[in-house]
Structure 1
Amino acid sequence: MRIKTIITTLTAVSALLTLTTACGGDGSQADALGGDPFAANGKAPENGTAFQKLPKAGSMAAAARLVNGYTKCDQVSTSPGEDGPSEDAKLGPAYTVTETGYCGRRNVTTIVMYKDPKAFQTAFKAEMEKNGGGNPDSGIVVGRDFAVGSQSADAMAALLQPQAGLLMLNCHAGFNPPSGFRKEPALVKGCVLTDYYKD
């Protein structure tokens, strides 16, 4: 099923970015981005929406540095390698993806940079609805201009640590996290941003 392939490709990112892969760091987002988690594009607004408070990378290198602060992603390639997602897992034009990077060998982490976050979320939701959605407690890890998914559940969970500043885009109609987890409106009706993920 294509949605499972997409979620495997991007699973917080997936998400997370989804982001134990062969793509980690020492756990410090500040170190990953040179001392400031929003160094690429300035500080996020203090009183903005949950989406506006997400990190904005500005480039694949900056997104990879952020991911590497939480799960191994020190070498990014434009090729998925032998163990990465297949060509048919690539996202179509509706996602507005401008660049795709891969890190890791056995558990590949995928990072995509996108141009239009609302269009990206709309396309992700439509794909899920079309294919039945899969795991209601999963999605993809997102920033303001990038998304991350990993074949590793540990990597996805690592990217949702509060200090990472990232959240998971979840578009499952029945999503209902346990109390204490975030469930903030996304840019598209029917989707939420959350720090809850269960493989």
Structure 2
Amino acid sequence: MRLSKTLTAGAVALTAALTLTACGGGDSGGGVSGGDNGSSADSGLPRASTMAELQKFIVGTGAQCEELGPSNEVRMLEESRDPAWSIKERSVCDETMVLLLIDDMVKFQEALAKAKGSVGRILIGENFALTNLGGSGPQLMQNGLTHLSCRQEDRDSLPSGFTAKDALVKPCFTTDYLPE
């Protein structure tokens, strides 16, 4: 009787451990992590661990990103050198779109709020940001990215039917609206 109860308790514990392990998720082997759309379970936003993964995500949305590397494009160049922005790596696609891998999204948003919108339109994933989007913004947003702004006037001027959610830092917010 006692052995039966011990075996039952052990089986329950093993089943629970296996269930929790199976639900763990995460990005252990490279690639954009998350579900079918490449989104992370934490925020619902896509996540990329490397520039190669980020480039693959962008191309997978149908947006242009053939050549990846350094560039004369100055957007976000100084910011990428400033530790306050928490930018881990900066690269440029096709001499136009700027890709930023972010170490700490809270620090990034704090720096953006202090910059008072002087860096242009920014789309974010869980741990990356894109700017200087050209005409690719709508495609990228349809594939899980969201527009990040820290300007109150942007929030106040959202057209009806679009959403605004508080971001990690006030007055920043994310929205499904991307102004031209």
TM-score (norm 1): 0.64
Q: 1:40 offset after TM fit, Å? A: 2.7
Q: 1:116 offset after TM fit, Å? A: 0.3
Question: Given residue 98 of structure 2, which amino acid in structure 1 is its aligned partner?
Answer: T
Q: 1:139 offset after TM fit, Å? A: 3.1
Once the two structures are superposed, residues 71-112 of structure 1 have per-residue CA deviations (whole angstroms, 9 ceiling, x without a partner) of 1002211x114xx2278644321111111111114xx00001
Question: Given residue 171 of structure 2, which amino acid in structure 1 is its aligned partner?
Answer: G
- Alignment of 1:189 with 2:180, yes or no, is no
List runs of 5+ in structure 2 lacking aligned partners. Answer: 1-29
| Aligned residues of 2:148 and 2:174 also touching (Cα < 8 A) | yes
In structure 2, the partner of 1:26 is none
Q: Pairwise CA RMSD of aligned residues? A: 2.4
Q: 1:156 offset after TM fit, Å? A: 2.3
TM-score (norm 2): 0.70
Q: Per the alignment, do residues 144 and 151 of structure 1 end up closer, same or farther by CA in structure 2, a change over 3 Å counting?
A: closer
Greater Rg over alpha carbons, structure: 2
Once the two structures are superposed, residues 126-165 of structure 1 have per-residue CA deviations (whole angstroms, 9 ceiling, x without a partner) of 111xxxx369xx631001110001252x12233222xx10
In structure 2, the partner of 1:66 is 57
Q: Per the alignment, do residues 53 and 86 of structure 1 end up closer, same or farther by CA in structure 2, a change over 3 Å counting?
A: closer
In structure 1, the partner of 2:132 is 150
| Aligned residues of 1:150 and 1:156 also touching (Cα < 8 A) | no
| Aligned residues of 1:60 and 1:113 also touching (Cα < 8 A) | yes
| Aligned residues of 2:32 and 2:54 also touching (Cα < 8 A) | no
In structure 2, the partner of 1:22 is none
List runs of 5+ in structure 1 lacking aligned partners. Answer: 1-37
Once the two structures are superposed, residues 18-69 of structure 1 have per-residue CA deviations (whole angstroms, 9 ceiling, x without a partner) of xxxxxxxxxxxxxxxxxxxx95333333xx6xxx111111111111111122
2:32 aligned residue (34, 40, 46): 40
Kindly report which structure 2 residues correspond to 1:73-92, keeping only aligned pairs within 5 A, or say none: 73-77=65-69, 79-81=70-72, 84-85=73-74, 89-91=78-80, 92=82
Deviates more, 1:182-191 or 1:89-98: 89-98
Q: Give percent identity, aligned residues only.
A: 27
In 2, Cα distance between the equivalents of 1:120 and 1:148? 12
Q: Per the alignment, do residues 150 and 179 of structure 1 end up closer, same or farther by CA in structure 2, a change over 3 Å counting?
A: same
- Alignment of 1:116 with 2:101, yes or no, is no
In structure 2, the partner of 1:168 is 147
Count of residue pairs brought into register by the alignment = 143
